[in-house]
Amino acid sequence: MKNIKISEAFDYYREAEIIAGGLSPKTYDNYVMSEKWAIDFFGDIMIYKITSENVRAFYLYLSGWQRPNTVRGELISLRAVLNFCGKKGYQVMDTDEIKIPKRQKIPVDYLEPDEIEMFIDAVAEKRRGYSNYNRARNVAIVKLFWVSGIRVSELCAMNRDSIKNRCFVVVGKSKNPRVCFITEEVEKLIREYLDLRTDSNPALFVTKTDKRMTPHEVRDVFRMACSRSDFERVRPHVIRRSFATNLLNKGVDIRYIAELLGHESLETTRAYTHVSNQKLQKIYDSIVV
């Protein structure tokens, strides 16, 4: 049978599966790192020399200094490359013997800014069956939540012409209108998404059948992103909480945060934030006492 080194196997896989398959640059980079770690452990040996015992030792090696989900990803990458090479006629171990541990989900009440970016990366990642149109729409949705703090029902009620000069008005639970804002980046993302539209529906966000998106359908965007990432139970409401916490951490007056969120009570806003009790108590007392 044909033979090939680990470095050659990863090169072959990246060219034939990742580049030719139109997968994301991030996926390509992940496989570059997987190759490095595999060669660091095994050496750049012929792939037929990799055995199930070697793989178990590799798993224990990685587990000593990497997070469980990172180790899981490395095993998936190695198995994918070996399985690919086996189908191409190269001699490899039985890849069914590479057991993949279950993903450890990370339940969250709110996200830090860097975690928001990681979550958006999961929404934006290219994959088969996930059109550029849906990716553009879904990224715009999550980014809009992150920079405005609006509710899912408020997002679904928005129309194409709702945003003017990077601000828009929503009517929330209190039935009182409030002004919300977006960044230039989000304005650009929404414009790029709308440029892909061919329908005449006035709704800002629509389904693949050109119907106005419902809150359930928006939440499905989040559920799908969670299923492909390390996050668990991230919903639009989590992004809203994260928006409030991020502003408070940056020193924004809690009264302004309440206004941006559409809260009539500062107690409600206080419950939305996740900073240290001591810091929050000091801010709160300076306002209400």
Residues 6+ away with beta carbon under 8 Å from 249: 275
Among the options 151, 241, 270, 274, which is catalytic? 151
Instruction: Compute the distance between CA of residue 217 and CA of residue 5 in angstroms, rounded to an integer.
Output: 46
Residue type, 254: I
Q: Give the integer Cα–Cα distance in Å for 257 and 260.
A: 5
Q: From CA 10, how far away is CA 18, in angstroms rounded?
A: 10
Kindly state the tokens that stand for 246.
């991020």
To the query of whether residue 216 is one of the catalytic residues in this protein, the response is no
Of residues 26, 99, 173, 188, which has the active-site annotation? 173
Got the DSSP string for 3-43?
Answer: --BHHHHHHHHIIIIIITTT--HHHHHHHHHHHHHHHHHH-
Residue 127 backbone phi and psi in degrees, to 5: -160, 160
Q: Are strands 231-232 and 106-107 parallel, antiparallel or unpaired?
A: parallel
Catalytic residue among 49, 160, 197, 237: 237
Q: Which of 240, 241, 270, 274 is catalytic?
A: 240
Is residue 151 part of the annotated active site? The answer reads yes
Q: Is 274 a catalytic residue?
A: no
Active site includes 263? yes
- Residue type at 210 in one-letter notation: D
Are 179 and 148 spatial neighbours (Cβ–Cβ below 8 Å)? Answer: no
Kindly name the residue from 14, 72, 79, 263 that is annotated as catalytic.
263
Burial grade of 217 (CB within 10 A; 0-12, 13-18, 19 or more): middle
Query: Catalytic residue numbers?
Result: 151, 173, 237, 240, 263, 272
